Amino acid sequence: MQADDARLVARLRAGDQVAFATVVRQWSPAMLRAARFHVRTHASAEEVVQEAWLAVVRGLDGFEGRAQLRTWVFRILVNVARRRGRAESRVNAELREPTVDPGRFRDDDDPYPGHWRAEAAPVSWGPEPVLLAAEVRAVLEKGLAELPERQRAVVELRDVHGFDHEEVCELLDLTPANQRVLLHRGRAKLRGVLEGVLG
- Is there a single domain that holds both residue 77 and residue 128? no
pLDDT band per the 50, 70, 90 thresholds, residue 55: very high
Tell me if 117 is assigned to some domain: no
- Which pLDDT score is estimated for 124? 65
**CATH code for the domain of 72:** 1.10.1740.10
Lowest mean pLDDT among 20-29, 53-62, 156-165: 156-165
Tell me if 108 is assigned to some domain: no
- Is there a single domain that holds both residue 184 and residue 140? yes
Q: List the beta bridge partners of residue 116.
A: 105
Name the domain boundary from 47, 76, 95.
Answer: 95
Tell me if 114 is assigned to some domain: no
* pLDDT, tens digit (0-9, with 9 covering 90-100), for 105-115: 888 888 888 88
Tell me if 115 is assigned to some domain: no
Asked whether residue 130 carries a pLDDT value surpassing 60, the answer given is: no
Q: Residues 6 or more apart from 125 whose CB is under 8 A from it?
A: 131, 194, 198
Tell me if 190 is assigned to some domain: yes
State the residue range of the domain holding 86. 3-95
- Which pLDDT score is estimated for 8? 92
- Is there a single domain that holds both residue 75 and residue 12? yes
Against a cut of 0.85, is the pTM above it? no
- Is there a single domain that holds both residue 150 and residue 189? yes
- Which pLDDT score is estimated for 199? 59
DSSP annotation string for 92-154: HHHHHS-SS-GGGB--TTSSSTTSBPGGGS-----SHHHHTSHHHHHHHHHHHHHS-HHHHHH
Q: How many domains does the chain have?
A: 2
